[in-house]
Amino acid sequence: MSKIKAGIINVTGYVGIELVRLLHHHPEVELKSITGRSAAGQKLGEVFPHLSDINQLIEADVDSNIDVAFSAMPHKSSVDVVPSLLTQNIKAIDVSADFRLKDANEYPKWYGFTHPFPDLLQEAIYGLSEIHEKEIASARLIANPGCYSVGAILALAPAVKEAIISPEVIIDSKSGVSGTGRTLTLAGHYAETNENAFAYSVEGHRHLPEIEQELRALNPELPLSVTFVPHLVPMTRGILTTCYAPLKDSNLLKKELQQLYRDFYKNAPFVHIVDNPPQIKYTRGTNLCVIYPTIDLRTNRLIVISCLDNLIKGGAGQAVQNMNLMFGLPQSAGLETSAIYP
């Protein structure tokens, strides 16, 4: 089998940079084309010295002679490039939010634009491999999930699917600064984030609708009411999510809960169910999502903690995992690496 010819549109963001690193070392991929308008004409190593061993020129436009394109464009921009890729029979994996929501009416509220291709919203498959493996395998357009969404959905999916919880769900997430991207903002300044932590988008974060969309699809009979509050903490990468929900059965044992989670993810190579609360560094640089489900016996409340690297499992690694499924490769191809610790 010949290697998959891949292209990356907009290599200059953090997820684009990680896509280069992962695809360069992927045994079944030829990284044929990378673009970045602000850096067009420069060698990759000139812009990112840590990638100087990759002899690749950053171009203004992606090569049409590829099998799959990863669009790492900002929100509202992928809609301008993805339809053209599809008409050229190039499979597309969109890392932005432009195809994640099924309801086009949600885009003005959460992303500030009217979606021009509602038909593609219906075609696009939400790219969470642990939930949509079969659909991803036959898709030509993948909507890669938001970083917060991956940790929250994976933490709650077994409980929602099996209806062991009441509908009132609280999701508390803490993210490193790389989740805000490379574009400079006041909140991203060192003096603002160092020795500091704060909640933001308290009235509604843009990842909330996709979290609700995917959880409700797992169990339409459960009328979920989700509260989601993200926080920025002074670290470079990683997301720690803690989810809370009342349990329906006061007799459910912790070992039964954990077995339910292990059964649900028994074929998911990148989800690890653990016996103790995980730490963010357990997943740094990997495509893992580590999950710890437990019970607060005093309140009969489910508590689920998940950890992941927001740039890998929450971004580039998930995108590569989706590509593997689309081309009939093992999900773990090119993604088998251990965490960087400490």
Please report, in tens digits, the pLDDT of each residue of the chain (342 residues total): 799 999 999 999 999 999 999 999 999 999 999 999 889 999 999 999 999 999 999 999 999 999 999 999 999 999 999 999 999 999 999 999 999 999 999 999 999 999 999 999 999 999 999 999 999 999 999 999 999 999 999 999 999 999 999 999 999 999 999 999 988 888 889 999 999 999 999 999 999 999 999 999 999 999 999 999 999 999 999 999 999 999 999 999 999 999 999 999 999 999 999 999 999 999 999 999 999 999 999 999 999 999 999 999 999 999 999 999 999 999 999 999 999 998
Answer yes or no: do 97 and 12 share one domain. yes
Answer yes or no: do 118 and 152 share one domain. no
* Domain hosting residue 97, numbered range: 4-123
Report phi then psi at 157, rounded to 5. Answer: -55, -50
Predicted confidence at residue 183, as pLDDT, reads 87
Q: Which tokens is 319 given?
A: 């995108």
301-308 and 4-9 beta bridge pairing: unpaired
Rounded to whole angstroms, what are the CA distances from 169 to 74, 108, 161, 228, 317?
30, 25, 14, 8, 27
Residue 69 inside a domain? The answer is yes
Answer yes or no: do 45 and 177 share one domain. no
Determine contact, residues 169/156, Cβ cutoff 8 Å: yes
Among the listed residues 147, 243, 289, 307, the single catalytic one is 147
Q: Which tokens is 32 given?
A: 């044929």
Answer yes or no: do 163 and 306 share one domain. yes
Answer yes or no: do 169 and 264 share one domain. yes
**289 noted as active-site residue:** no
Answer yes or no: do 173 and 260 share one domain. yes
Answer yes or no: do 64 and 106 share one domain. yes
As for how many domains the chain has, the answer is 2
Q: Long-range contacts for 114-119 (Cβ within 8 Å, ≥24 apart)?
A: 115/79, 116/79, 117/79, 117/83
Q: Which amino acid is at 255?
A: K
Rounded to whole angstroms, what are the CA distances from 110 to 39, 100, 104, 225, 326?
30, 12, 11, 18, 29
Predicted confidence at residue 37, as pLDDT, reads 85
Answer yes or no: do 238 and 285 share one domain. yes
Answer yes or no: do 77 and 184 share one domain. no
